[in-house]
Amino acid sequence: MVDVAFEYKKLFKGAKQEEVFDAIAQWLAKKGAKVKKSERPTLIEAVYGRVDVEWNWHADILRTVDFELVSTKDYVGISVFQAPVRKTEKRVLESPFQANITWRDWLDTCWEYVLSKLTPAPAAPGAPMRIPVAKAVVGEKSIAPPPPKPASGAPPPPPKPAVAPPPPPPQTSAPPKKEAAPPGEDSGS
C-alpha cells in the first residue's frame, strides 16, 4: 500500500466533459504516459515517468496518475490523484513537499494544454465584448503599438514629445516695479 498520494482539483467553466477528457488523453499520449484504464468521459488511469531520475521529487519520477471527471450544467470538475509506484515510493517519501510542488507544476502544463484545445464558451447575450490591445514590452515599460495610418492623403499629426515641456513661469498679478536709480545719481530733475 502506498503511504503518499497527492490530490489536485481543477474546474473548467463552460467546457464539455468529452472535450476535456479527449484533451487530457491527448496530452498524456504526448507526454508518453501509459494509459492503464480509460472510461470515457469520466476516468483515465495512467502510469507516467521513469525510475532513473536524478532527484526524489523530479517531475518525471515514475508514478500513477488518475483523472476523475464530473460535470454540471456550467462546469467540468477534475480530481487528479498522483502517487508513486512501489519502485519510487521510498524516494518520494524522502521529499514529499518538493514532489507535490513539481507534480503540481507538471499538471499545470496539462491544464494549459486542455485550455488550448477547448472551444470557447459562447458569450452571454448582451454581455459587452472586451477587445484586447496589443502591447510590446521593452524592459519594464510597455509600449502601445503605433496608431493606424489615416486612409486619406492628409498628413499625419505631429508626434507627441517624449518628455513633457517645462511649465511656463508663474505670472504675478502685481504691476511691474520701476527700476530705482542707483544711489548718488540724480533722476534728472
pLDDT computed for residue 53 by the predictor: 86
Kindly state the average pLDDT of the residues 133-148.
57
* Position 9 in a domain: no
Instruction: Report whether pLDDT(185) > 70.
Output: no
* Position 174 in a domain: no
pLDDT computed for residue 174 by the predictor: 59
Number of domains in the chain: 1
Rounded CA separation 119/59 (Å): 29
DSSP 50: B
Q: How confident is the model over 85-126, as pLDDT tens digits?
A: 999 899 888 999 999 999 999 999 999 999 999 976 555 566
- Nearest to residue 2, comparing CAs of 92, 103, 80? 92
pLDDT computed for residue 147 by the predictor: 62
Q: How confident is the model over 37-84, as pLDDT tens digits?
A: 999 999 999 999 999 888 877 888 999 999 999 999 999 999 999 999
pLDDT computed for residue 129 by the predictor: 55
pLDDT computed for residue 166 by the predictor: 72
Across the chain, mean pLDDT equals 81
* Position 57 in a domain: yes
For residue 45, the enclosing domain spans: 17-117
CATH number at 71 reads 3.30.530
* Position 34 in a domain: yes
* Position 159 in a domain: no
* Position 133 in a domain: no
- Nearest to residue 78, comparing CAs of 125, 106, 127, 42? 42
* Position 110 in a domain: yes
Long-range contacts of 49-52 (CB under 8 A, 24+ apart): 49/88, 51/87, 51/88
* Position 152 in a domain: no
